[in-house]
Amino acid sequence: MPHIQWNAKRYEEDAKFVRDLGDEVIALLEPKVGERILDLGCGEGSLTLKIVESGAVVTGIDSSYAMVEKSRAKGIDAYVRSARELDFYEVFDAVFSNAVLHWVPQAEDVADGVYRSLKEGGRFVAEFGGEGNVATIMGAIEKLFGDHPEWGVFENRWYFPSAQAYRQVLERAGFREVHTQIIPRPVPIKSIENWLELFGEGIMKEMCDDQKRDFRSKLTDMLRPKLYDADRGWWADYVRIRVKAVK
């Protein structure tokens, strides 16, 4: 995953919607008492705890040390690991992942690692950003960077695959019974500034403080007509890909 200095406390407070949306993915996972489950990208552990409550034996991994510390403070068996370098061999009955895999463009490496980690018959259940995710926000960012070359280069390195492309990735890794589905899901956010602070740190990496202020304010102005109304407030144009596959 790219090296992002996650602010674990901020994330826990302001990105609550991420774990709330994860409840449906846990329902799809159907964790059972005694099953060994890997939570790939456990973050600060709130969703992981819900899987633990089902009676499963859960291991969490995350690329962020700060997040792993937060998970451990909740009593979760969590480790710092990259999703690209899973070093488990036929250990888990299921691998679960929510709102993480769009950070990892090396999708083939992840799929191979998940496949290796699962026991025969084990399942992979995941949800993350799919084709068209935050397209309005990304389009506005690309336009602003085009208009302001002095801000540096905007590299859109997120991985938002189509249902068909991701099905192929999983089938090539060896999975069967592969189901992939694109789900448009606009989510309420506090503000564009707050969203940028949570998820867009790398976007402003080459800007000085004045440029960051200018960028945030221009982006907010550009997106207000599309992603804000007085009754609902701000929202982000999320699109998810939901995945279930069997080894």
Max intra-chain CA distance, the chain: 56
Contacts of 224 (CB under 8 A, 6+ apart): none
Nearer to ligand BEZ, 64 or 117 (CB): 64
Residue carrying the six token digits 């691998």: 95
Least distance between ligand BEZ and beta carbon 87 (Å): 26
Least distance between ligand BEZ and beta carbon 28 (Å): 18
C-alpha distances in angstroms, 100 versus 83, 127, 158, 167, 210? 9, 8, 10, 17, 31
Nearer to ligand BEZ, 115 or 238 (CB): 238
Cβ of 100: how many Cβ atoms within 10 Å? 24
Interface residues toward ligand BEZ, by CB under 6 A: 99, 102, 129, 133-134, 158, 199, 238
Nearer to ligand BEZ, 66 or 239 (CB): 239
Nearer to ligand BEZ, 71 or 98 (CB): 98
Least distance between ligand BEZ and beta carbon 172 (Å): 24
Least distance between ligand BEZ and beta carbon 44 (Å): 15
133, two tokens: 């995710």
